[in-house]
Structure formats: C-alpha cells, structure tokens
Amino acid sequence: MAFTLELGQKAPDFMLPATEGKSYSLADFHDANVLVVFFTCNHCPFVVGSNEVTRATAEKYVDQGVKFVGINSNSVNTKPDDSFEVMVEQMEEEKYPWVYLHDESQDVAKAYGALRTPHFYVFNQNRELIYTGRGLDDPRESEKATVNDLQNALSEHLAGKEISTPLTNPLGCNVKWHGEDEHWMPAEACDLV
C-alpha cells in the first residue's frame, strides 16, 4: 500500500482538538461541497511563505461550499514552536479562515500519509480524494510562484471539469516525526509523481 492516500480513496476520519477549544471529526464538515484538508504547522518557511495565498484561496471559494481544515502533526520535541499554545496564539493573531487542529499522536498524519508542510488533500462531496500535493510551485517565496495547483484543482472541479493535474509533489519541510531526526521520512514515503 502507498504511504500517501491515493486518488479516489476516502478521507480518513479523525477527532482532533482545535485552537478555539472544540474538537472536530470529519462529520463536522459534512455540509462542505469540497473539503480541503492540509497538513501545516507554525514555523515552516514554506507554510509561512504561502499562508496568505492559502488564505486568499480559502476565501475565494467559501461561497461555493469549500471548507479548509489545517492540521499540525509536527512533534514539539523536534520543533517547540509547533506547540498547541503557539497554534492558539497564531490563530488569534492571524485569524486564518480555517479550523486549525492538533494531531499530537501523529495518527492522522499517518492515516493520510502526510509528507510535508504544507501538503494539501482535496476531497469531493463524497469525500473521495480528487487532488493531492502542493499549493504553489514556490511556497517559500509565494510572490515568485507561477502556478497555484490548489486553486486550479478547485476551480476546475467546481466548474464540473476533470482536474487536469490531480497529483503533484508537496513542497515544504518534511513532517517532524516523534523520536526521529528532523529530516527523517518514513521508508515507504516517496514522491507522488
């Protein structure tokens, strides 16, 4: 079995605490026409560099029933800045238009096969995977980006078209796994394309 969810597979369920004090499962987003689940964090320069583009994309499609869910699975032992407390502070300051969940056990990151931060997964109304990979072709310096694969996938799907590029490699820092060096990746994790 592939490490990362494959196109057409169903979204794995989760139950995770959010920065505003509630916990959420997949069912809490049942009314979304499209659900974007993305693995992110507080510190990664690829996340920090592209958060405003992700915000703009989330805001652009909210009226079409698209919801975004950010999940931080990074080990605080490796990156103390990725603590839940810092997540709360960041959301209070930035007021991002997504729910920000904490995957302390890393079970959800493993279920989805998250490779990097950010790593996007787009699910249709039946919660089948229709796009996975990067948001931008240059997330670290988003002003230099020439392609927004996430936005392209959303606009094509919402227009009833087939997604022309449903699979890209996520670009960013690797997920920080418990008990491992910060650059470690699971042996079965590999490029998606």
Q: Which tens digit of pLDDT belongs to each residue from 96-142?
A: 999 999 999 999 999 999 999 999 999 999 999 999 999 999 999 99
Give SS3 for 151: helix
Mean pLDDT of 68-90: 96
Instruction: Give the total residue count for the chain.
Output: 193
Computed over every residue of the chain, the mean pLDDT equals: 96
User: Tokens standing for 85?
Assistant: 């407390």
The pTM assigned to this predicted structure is 0.97
Contact (Cβ atoms closer than 8 angstroms) between residue 124 and residue 178: no
Residue 179 to residue 14: CA distance in whole angstroms: 23
Residue 63 to residue 188: CA distance in whole angstroms: 38
Q: Which CATH superfamily includes the segment(s) 9-174?
A: Glutaredoxin (3.40.30.10)
